[in-house]
């Protein structure tokens, strides 16, 4: 397995897609039930293959990631050949941008000396999707990139 297995909730959300996946493998509902009982290792392998297929699709379509910690905001743009990062670091003690009050403070103070900006670019390793997945495993979430675009305009102005 290249990534991680989908959660039970994710499998439930993707129930129809999983049925279609089994159909492409020529596995009927009765055969699936039989596999789970009589050949659980094969059933587990099918779950893993399906999970990897879903992850591949998600990762290929990811354009932006965000990872927020109490005093830092990491914004990633996923381009074809490299990843660009904008980091905001809050220098003021006691501000936690993971909660509503701290985030509001950041919105009002991002252009002050209490916030530092850093930028960087990085080429991908031989496996771009694995690089993206690694960031997701570290807490990043896929976004539409509104914050990246906003701060990119400020930095490049």
DSSP secondary structure string for all residues of 31-86: HHHHHHHH-HHHHHHHHHHHHHHHHHHHHHH--EEEEEETTEEEEEEE-SSEEEEE
pTM (2 decimals)? 0.86
b/e map of 50-88 (b: 16 or more CB within 10 Å)? bbbebbeeebeebebbbbbeebebbbbbbeeeebbbbbb
Task: For residue 127, give every residue at least 6 positions away whose Cβ sits within 8 Å of its Cβ, in sequence order, or none.
Answer: none
Q: Quick one: pLDDT at residue 155?
A: 86
Q: Quick one: pLDDT at residue 156?
A: 81
Contact 18, 11 (CB under 8 A): yes
Q: Quick one: pLDDT at residue 119?
A: 96
Q: What is the pLDDT along the chain (157 residues), one digit of tens a residue?
A: 999 999 999 999 999 999 999 999 899 999 999 999 999 999 999 999 999 999 999 999 999 999 999 999 999 999 999 999 999 999 999 999 999 999 999 999 999 999 999 999 999 999 999 999 999 999 999 999 999 999 999 888 6
Q: Reduced to 3 states, what is the DSSP secondary structure of residue 116?
A: strand
b/e map of 94-130 (b: 16 or more CB within 10 Å)? ebbbeeeebeebbeeebeeeebeeeeeeeebeeebbe
Q: Quick one: pLDDT at residue 157?
A: 67
Q: Quick one: pLDDT at residue 87?
A: 96
Q: H/E element holding 120?
A: strand 115-123
């Amino acid at each position: 397995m290249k990534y991680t297995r989908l959660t039970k909730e994710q499998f439930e959300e993707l129930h129809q897609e999983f049925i279609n996946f089994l159909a492409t493998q020529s596995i009927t509902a009765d055969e699936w039930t039989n596999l789970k009982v009589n050949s659980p290792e094969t059933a587990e392998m099918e779950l893993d293959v399906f999970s990897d297929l879903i992850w591949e699709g998600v990762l290929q379509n990811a354009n932006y990631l965000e990872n927020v910690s109490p005093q830092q905001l990491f914004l990633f743009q996923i381009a074809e050949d490299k990843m660009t990062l904008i980091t905001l670091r809050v220098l003021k003690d006691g501000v936690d941008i993971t909660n509503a009050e701290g985030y509001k403070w950041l919105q009002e103070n991002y252009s002050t000396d209490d916030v530092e900006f850093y930028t960087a670019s990085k080429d991908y390793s031989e496996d771009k999707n694995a690089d993206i997945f690694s960031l997701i495993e570290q807490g990043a979430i896929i976004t539409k990139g509104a914050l990246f675009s906003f701060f990119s305009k400020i930095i490049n102005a």
